[in-house]
Amino acid sequence: LIGNPIDLADSTDVTPVSFGELEKWMKARKGRCVQYDVETIPAKWWPDRKLRTMQFGTWQDQYVIQWSFLDEVQWQQVKGWLENPAWIKVIHNAMFESVICRFYKIRLQGIFDTMLAEQVIWGGEQGAVGYGLDDVCYRRMGFGLDKTYQTAFSEDVLTPPLVRYAAQDVKDLEMIRGLQLGE
């Protein structure tokens, strides 16, 4: 976690890290896939959805960034990563992330959308085939995801359960991509 959550004392699986650690990790991943997701404050209208966290990760490592915690230099660094096609951003439902990022003057480039790929693979079949991340995880890997906290993000509170939820959304995307591509 890069940020300032509450009640971290009782958490054994949420570890604060510096922005510099994320920078080193991203440099080591250049030219490879990086899983990416955002969490927003729920709202009916797109412009009212405020960015709460951004997540980068792999199966082994997940970095949750509390958006309000970044300074201007760090924000520009993150913007550079997201706009650089040298990092393939594996995203589930990239339309959502793309729209949210545009409100923050970020144009995502180098995207592989696992939701879109799944829809193409299944021929857009509706009804019996779900395309949400929990549906795709279940279909591809045999387990679903707990989406309890999906709409629990608020303006001021970031708790360990919310951090864990945000991290889980980037943990399996590269595996799903590999399965979709037959790797």
Residue 67 DSSP symbol:
G
* Range among 65-69, 88-92, 163-167 rated most confident: 88-92
Tens digits of per-residue pLDDT, 126-154? Answer: 777 789 999 998 989 888 777 777 777 87
Tens digits of per-residue pLDDT, 76-91? Answer: 999 999 999 989 999 9
Residues 6+ away with beta carbon under 8 Å from 91: 35, 36, 37, 97, 108, 111, 112, 113, 114, 173
Give the up-direction half-sphere exposure of residue 54: CA atoms within 13 A in the CB hemisphere. 24
pLDDT at 183 over 90: no
Tens digits of per-residue pLDDT, 89-116? Answer: 999 999 999 999 999 999 999 999 999 9
Q: Which strands, in side-by-side order, build the sheet including 88-91? A: 62-66, 51-57, 33-40, 88-91, 111-113
